[in-house]
Amino acid sequence: MKIAMLASEGAPYIKSGGLGDVMEALPSALARIPGNEVVLILPYYKKILDNPKYEVEQVSQFYVSLGWRNQYAGVYRLKNRADGVRVYFIDSLYYFGAREGAIYGDIDDGERFAFFSKACLDTLVNLDFIPDVIQCNDWQTALVPTLLKAQYQPLLPDTKCVFTIHNVEYQGWAEGSFFDDVLALPWEWRPTLDMSGCVNMMKGAIETADMVSTVSETYARELMYPYYAHGLDSVLSPAAWKLTGITNGIDVNTFNPETDPALPAHYNADTFREGKAACKAALQKEVGLPQAPDVPLMVMVTRLVGHKGLDLLCHIARQLIWEENAQLLILGTGEARFEQFFRELAEEFPDRVAAKITFNLGLASRIYAGGDIYLMPSKSEPCGLSQMNAMRYGTVPVVHATGGLKDTVPPVDENGENGLGFTFQSYNAHDFLNALKRCLALYHHNPQAFQKLQYVDMCQDFSWDVPAQKYMQMFTKVCAG
Ligand code: GLC
């Protein structure tokens, strides 16, 4: 099958979150399936352009029309990718290559990614790679299925389109005038993209894609409800027939405690007791916590934003510290109010709390390895990857039973068995605290059961093999339809 995957980020070239991880491992997993040809198209951001590691050759160039604008696009092919995925970067100094800083957040983001979406389709046509399926991701490429139906049908008549939602919160809203000014599509497509007089790109994608997927089964069901759908429940409900949830995997080669170069000691499911003890001691030293092997180390690697459940943690943090003998370590950056809270907490309890307000992939690995308990109380979580990273490194998760967290962390029973971690059902600070206390009790009072749980967590298969097969089933179905 010929598959074209379009996204605004993909590791190792460029990544701001989980989408970047998925776009590293999923194309690879699909390319390993015999008979598949996989193309991945990404914007040629300054950070990629400036990186001498990525050798490229130009393979095409053309102009993209966006209303009255005519914008140059170059297409560069990456020469040194080993796994068979063909990677192309869309070059535009104006929209991507000459911009410093973060990859999102510019005032003209709507126009930038409208350009990218069109350029992707033009690339496929120009390179004569006519895919059976285009798989596009989140709002940045959400215009693709609409453009395909409204403009590119004659050029790509048999190509189907699957749209994947990684997070419904960011939908690609633009002013109503965007429709004429930037997209200049025939008027009859206006209602497809219209929401309350504005353009909503994700709405258009949900309506026009042949199939819509999201990144866990539970999240697919949650999206039917206003609480989770951020205004799109009325669009998603009628599309339920074509909505599938496929739970993400993680890159088990990158996230492997046996080989991870960032770790001070290596281990597997059979040797984790010594290996994790060494990693814990080194981590406590690195972050300035007392090196206490028997004090449970609770850890969190996260963007410090509201929906990650930090308000719950802030609410109970002091009570947790007073009532429990445990250490807390947080790594991440984000909203100033949370950064400040954890900095102050660490100053107030230097022997119990450490806060590293920074982005550091090596330290993140050392935290997955050196921690005992991983906290993920997200308010909503389409899939979530770090709870799987944590389990792979033998760190027991305590999570809010929502979205992918619910699907990947079945709750243990009172003996710490028949599940993978501790969960709480309602988004409530003291329910979270109770789940934490149950986990800490197992750690203190039944260390053997706690270690058995760590072992079971480490033995899980979180690889992309199974999800990649599910994507194939979806693609096959969509091509047959
Ligand atoms: C988004 C979601 C996260 C998911 C990731 C990859 O970042 O918030 O839950 O794991 O996309 O699909």
Smallest Cα–Cα separation from 443: which of 328, 349, 324, 313? Answer: 324
Provide the pairing of β-strand 56-66 with 133-137. Answer: unpaired
Q: Is the CB of 377 under 6 A from ligand 1?
A: no
Compute how many other C-beta atoms are within 10 angstroms of the C-beta atom of residue 372: 21
pLDDT score at 193: 98
From CA 168, how far away is CA 166, in angstroms rounded? 7
Q: Is the CB of 167 under 6 A from ligand 1?
A: yes
CA–centroid distance, residue 376 to ligand 1 (Å): 13
Q: Does the pLDDT at position 200 exceed 90?
A: yes
Q: Is the CB of 43 under 6 A from ligand 1?
A: no
CA–centroid distance, residue 344 to ligand 1 (Å): 29
CA–centroid distance, residue 322 to ligand 1 (Å): 34
Q: CB–CB of 220/214 below 8 Å?
A: yes
Is residue 65 very low, low, confident or very high in pLDDT (cuts 50, 70, 90)? Answer: very high
Smallest Cα–Cα separation from 22: which of 8, 36, 35? Answer: 8
From CA 121, how far away is CA 116, in angstroms rounded? 9
Q: Is the CB of 17 under 6 A from ligand 1?
A: yes
pTM for this model (two decimals): 0.95
Start-to-end C-alpha separation, the chain: 15
CA–centroid distance, residue 414 to ligand 1 (Å): 30
For the segment 150-156, the average pLDDT, to the nearest whole number, is: 97
Distances (CA, A) of 369 to 8, 30, 45, 259, 290: 30, 29, 32, 12, 17
Question: Which two structure tokens, joined as six digits, stand for 416?
Answer: 């710490």
Q: Is the CB of 249 under 6 A from ligand 1?
A: no
Q: Is the CB of 18 under 6 A from ligand 1?
A: yes
Please give the number of the atom of ligand 1 that sits closest to the Cα of 404.
9
**444 Cβ neighbours under 8 A, 6+ residues apart:** 296, 325
Please give the number of the atom of ligand 1 that sits closest to the Cα of 169.
8
Burial class (CB in 10 A: 0-12, 13-18, 19+), 413: exposed
What residues pair up with 198 in beta bridges, in sequence order? Answer: 195
Query: How much of the chain, in percent, has pLDDT values that exceed 90?
Result: 98
Q: CB–CB of 214/165 below 8 Å?
A: yes
Type of residue at 158: D
From CA 280, how far away is CA 210, in angstroms rounded? 48
pLDDT score at 102: 82
Is residue 470 very low, low, confident or very high in pLDDT (cuts 50, 70, 90)? Answer: very high
For the segment 193-204, the average pLDDT, to the nearest whole number, is: 98
Residue 34: DSSP 8-state: T
Could you report the per-residue pLDDT of 393-439, keeping only the tens digit for each? 999 999 999 999 999 999 999 899 999 999 999 999 999 999 999 99
Query: How much of the chain, in percent, has pLDDT values that exceed 70?
Result: 100
Angle ∠(441,446,448) on CA atoms, nearest 5: 140
Residue whose Cα lies nearest atom 12 of ligand 1: it is 166
Sheet holding 86-91, edge to edge: 56-66, 69-78, 86-91, 37-43, 2-6, 133-137, 160-165, 211-214, 243-245
CA–centroid distance, residue 181 to ligand 1 (Å): 32
- Choose which residue among 9, 16, 19, 247 to substitute to test ligand 1 binding: the one with the highest number of ligand atoms within 8 A of its C-beta: 19
Could you report the per-residue pLDDT of 11-64, keeping only the tens digit for each? 999 998 899 999 999 999 999 999 999 999 999 999 999 999 999 999 999 999
Q: Is the CB of 381 under 6 A from ligand 1?
A: yes
Q: Is the CB of 295 under 6 A from ligand 1?
A: no
CA–centroid distance, residue 177 to ligand 1 (Å): 31
Helices (H), 46-133: 46-49, 109-126
pLDDT score at 481: 83
pLDDT score at 101: 82
Could you report the per-residue pLDDT of 262-304, keeping only the tens digit for each? 999 999 999 999 999 999 999 999 999 999 999 999 999 999 9
From CA 338, how far away is CA 311, in angstroms rounded? 8
Q: Is the CB of 19 under 6 A from ligand 1?
A: yes
> Across the chain, what does the average pLDDT equal?
97
